[in-house]
Amino acid sequence: MSTNSDANAAYLAAYGHLQRRDYRAAESGFRQFLTTFPDDANAANAQYWLGETYFVQGQYRKAANAFLKGYQRNRSGSTAPDSLLKLGMALHQLGEKDASCATLSELTSKFPAAPPTIKQRAAAERRRVGC
């Protein structure tokens, strides 16, 4: 039987790998965390960071899938605007301009109160993509 402290330790271990830029270990840690503790309070954050590990490794299809899954599972959570932003960025890297623009537009329309940094990055991405 797992405990909340087990989940917290697993999450913090994976996050520690991410902070040290050991992206493969972070990816593995977050995948294991999500398998073992799918309903933990940190699951949404773990899903986001899993996407981030893929993104920084240039695995844009896996990143897009991870960010989409995170958004679909937690559409109103604190990671939702970030997930949409990174999903739009990953789609652009995959050459999917229309999907990228649609995703970035959804971010703007669904989260008008998103943090200014997210809104600014989304606007910059829209310009970069050519939306």
Does one domain contain both 106 and 74?
yes
- Residues 73, 88 within the same domain: yes
pLDDT in tens, 90-123: 999 999 999 999 999 999 899 999 999 999 999 9
50 with 70, same domain?
Answer: no
Q: What is the pLDDT of residues 3-13, one digit of tens each?
A: 688 999 999 99
- CATH number, domain with residue 89: 1.25.40.10
Domain span at residue 22?
1-57
Domain boundary among 57, 77, 102: 57
CA 121 to chain centre: 15
| 79 and 97 part of one domain | yes
Q: Which residues of 28-62 are buried (b: 16+ CB within 10 A; e: fewer)?
A: ebbeebbeebeebebbbbbbbbbbbbbbeeebbeb
Verify that 49 and 77 share a domain, yes or no.
no
Q: Do 100 and 124 reside in the same domain of the chain?
A: yes
Residues 70 and 122 in one domain: yes
Summarize pLDDT for 72-82 with one digit per residue, the tens.
988 888 899 99
Residue 59 pLDDT level (bands cut at 50, 70, 90): very high
